[in-house]
Amino acid sequence: MTIIFNKNICDDLSNATEKEWLETNGIGGYASSTIVGANTRRYHGLLIAATKPPLGRTLLLSKLEEFLCTDGKEIPLSTNIYPNTTYPEGYKNLVQFSLNPFPTFEYSINGINIKKTVFMVYGENTTVIMYQVNCKGGPPFAHTLLKVRVLMAFRDHHWLTHENQAFKTDYKMLANNGVCLQPYDALPPMYLFHNAQSLDKASFWYKNMEYPKEIERGMEAHEDHFSPLALHFDLSKQRDCYIAATAKAYEEIDVMDLFGKELSRRQRRVGSLKLDTNNFHIQPLTPSIQPPASNLQPLTFNSQSSQRTNEGGAKTLVELSESLLSISDSFMVKRGGNKKSIIAGYHWFGDWGRDTMISLTGLTLVQGKFEDAQKILLSYAQFVDKGMIPNRFPDYGEAPEYNTVDASLWYIHAVYQYLRFAKDLKTIRKDLYGVLKEIVEHYKKGTRFNIHMDSDSIIYAGAEGVQLTWMDAKVCDWVVTPRMGKAVEINALWYNALKIMSFFARQMNLDDESKDYNILAEKVSRSFNDVFWFNEGQYLYDYIFGEEKNNAIRPNQIFAVSLPYSMLSKKKQRNVVEIVKKQLLTPYGLRTLSPTDKDYVGRYTGNVYERDRAYHQGTVWAWLIGPYISAYAKAYAGNKDILKYVKGLLAPFYEHLFESGLGTVSEIFDGDPPHTPRGCISQAWSVAEILRSYFEHVYGFEDVDE
C-alpha cells in the first residue's frame, strides 16, 4: 500500500509534523523523521546505529541541511524548528511525500524538480540519501548547485547533545570520496561517502534546535548539532546525487547496487505477503472458535472516521493487513550469532520478553515465518533462569532483567501457537519441552520476587517496589499499579500453561505427566472460580491481596476468556466480555481502567510523572483489541453477526495508518475521545495482535474480495 501526502498536507506544518516515517535495518538500527524532514523528537535522525545489535543505539547522523542554489538565490529544502521560529522553511517547496516502499520527498522550485529518497541497508548500519534532479523543458543548470550541510549529534539515542569541548571537530578525508568522523573515542566512527564535486570545510554549531514532541513529554527539548562540512553537488555535471552515512568502512560503495538489492528484497517480501484465501489453512489444536453465530448488532462508533473506514469494507481491511504485514518486518532483529528477537517498539524500546512472546503469532506464525519463530523461541530458551525468561535486555549488554511474572507463561503460550501453526513437534520434544517443564516447576515451588503457587494452586507474585505484571509503570520508587498478590491474568495464563503442558505431554505419549498437569489445572480452575468471581458485579476481580479483592474494572480479565483454555462457563465468559465492552472498549483498543473509576486518567500527557501515572489508569492500549476480539468470538461462537462486528472493530485502524507512525500502529491512545495516539509510533504487539485477530477471525471465514 502506498501512502501519499500532497502539497496541501505538506504545507500545513502543524499537521505534517505529526506524521512520522520509519526505516529499520533488521539489527535494531533505524532512521526516522517527519514527512517534511523536521525532527520533532530526540529519536529522529538519519542514522541511529545499533552498535551492539539489536541495542547500543547511537544517533550518528542527525539530519541534512539542504539548499538549491540557483539564480543567485538559496532556496531551502530542509526544515528545522527552533524556539518561536521555523528555519529554514523548506516544507513550503515540498509538493509530495510518499512511502512506497521508501520515504520519498518531491520538491518543485521554478521548474526544477528534486526527488529525495531515504533508505537503510538491511543487516548493516547504513543509510543512503539519494537526490534525483530534473528540469522541465531542458536543464538551465550552468550555475546551479545542491548544497547539503551535515549535522551530527553522536550520542545515545535517549540523550541530547550540547556544544562541548570534548567533541572532536576534526575528520579524516578518505581516498574513495569519503569522510571519516569520530567526535568521541568511545563511540564508533561514521563514514560519509558521496559523489559531490566539492566540499565546504566551514564548520560550526547549530544551537538550540527544538523538539516539540519532547516538550509534550515534559522532557528536555533543545539540542545543539555540530556541522563539520557541507557537500556541493554541481547539477551541470550530474543529476543523480547521493550521500551514504554508515558505520561500515567501505572500500568501495555502489549506492545504486545497494538501492537495487534493497528494493528487490522488499518487493520479494511484500510479494510473499499478498493475501491468498485459498492457501489459508490453520488447524486449531483446541476446540475451534466457531465461525460466526446470535443476533448481535455490528459495533459502531460515533465518528466520521469510523464511518468512512467501514464503507471501505473488505478492501479497507485487506489494505490494513497488507500494510501491517509489511511493517512487521521492522520488528524482527538479530541478537548476536544466529539468535533472533523482536523489538517491542520504535523509537525507544528494546527487545522485551513479554512483548516478544505476545507478538510472536502475529509477526511470524500467521505469515508462515516458522523458521523465524523457531529461532526466537530457541533464543529465549537459552536465557531461561529459575523458570523465568528475561523481561528485557538492557541497552549496553548488561545482564538480562528478570522482573516479570507473566513473560514465562506467555512463552509457554507462544510455543503452543508455534505447534499449532508449524506442526513442529520435533523441536518441542527435543529443545523446548524440558525448558517448559522447568518454568512450571519453578512457578510451583517458587522463584524470584516471591512468585510461587499458593496452597489453593493459584499463583502469587509480588515484592515491594517491583512491578511484575504488564501494568508496569514506575516513577522512582512508586509502583503505579503494584497489583501484588494473585493477579487475574497471571492465573488465566497459569491455567492455560498447565493445559498446554498436558496437551504437549499427551502428544509425546507421556500419559502420566499429561494426567498430572491436567489434575493441577482442574484445581486451579476450581480455586479461580471460587476466589476471582465478583458476584455482585458479574465480572472478575483484578487481583487479590490477602483480604483485599480489587474490583477495579480493567482489561486483564479478558484473558480468562481469550486464551485457548478458559476456566469460565459460557455465561461468565459473556459477562466478562460485556463489562469490558461497556466500560473499556474504544475504536483503538481497550482502556486500562473504567472511566467511572476515581483513579481514571483520560489523557496521557505531561511530564514523566504525569504520563506514567496515566499509563495504565485509563490509557488505551491497541494490542488489547486482539484479546478482546478472540474473547468475543469465543463467548458468542455461533453468532452470524460476529464477522461483521469484528470488521467494525478493526476498521478504525486503517485511517490510523495515515496519522502518526505511517503505515503502522501506535503503542497507546488517550482514554478520552478523540483518542489521540501517544507513546511509541510503531509498537510490535499493536501490529501483531491486529494481524493475529484479522487472520484468525476474519481472513479465511469470508471472501476478502467481496
Which residues are registered as beta bridge partners of 545? 548
Grid cell 474494572 in the structure block, residue:
553
Cell of 248: 561500515
Which pLDDT does position 473 carry in this prediction? 84
At 1 the pLDDT is 75
- DSSP one-letter string for 31-74: EEEETTS---STT-EEEEEEEETTEEEEEEEEEEEEEEEETTEE
Let me know if 250 is exposed, middle or buried by CB neighbors in 10 A (0-12, 13-18, 19+): middle
Q: 558 exposed, middle or buried (CB, 10 Å; 0-12, 13-18, 19+)? A: buried
pLDDT of residue 100: 86
Which CATH architecture fits 3-267? Distorted Sandwich (2.70)
As a whole number of angstroms, the distance between CA 390 and CA 388 comes to 6
What's the CA gap between 408 and 469, in Å, rounded?
11
| Four-way CATH pick for 273-280+290-697: 3.40.50.150, 2.40.30.170, 3.40.50.300, 1.50.10.10 | 1.50.10.10
Q: Is the pTM higher than 0.85?
A: yes
**Using the 8-state DSSP alphabet, how is residue 582 labeled?**
H
| CA gap 362, 413 in Å, rounded | 13
> Residue 272: its pLDDT value, please?
60
Question: What nine digits make up the cell of 99?
Answer: 512511502
Helix axes 625-635, 570-583, angle to 10 degrees: 140
* Residue tagged 495482535 (cell numbers): 689
Cis peptide before 88 (omega within 30 of 0): yes
CA dist 524 and 534 (Å) reads 17
3-class secondary structure, 135: strand
Q: d(Cα 273, Cα 101) in Å, to the nearest integer? A: 14
pLDDT number for residue 229: 98
Strand 73-76 relative to strand 55-70, pairing: antiparallel
For the chain, residues with pLDDT lower than 70 are: 136-141, 270-314, 394-398, 700-706
Q: Where are the domains of the chain?
A: 3-267, 273-280+290-697
- Segment 616-625, tens digit of pLDDT: 999 999 999 9
Which amino acid is residue 34, in one-letter code?
A: T
Q: How far apart are CA 259 and CA 244, in angstroms?
A: 11
How many Å apart are CA 264 and CA 518, to the nearest integer? 50
Cα–Cα distance for residue pair 666/684, rounded to 1 Å: 9
What's the CA gap between 44 and 41, in Å, rounded? 6
Element (H, E) at 127: strand 126-135
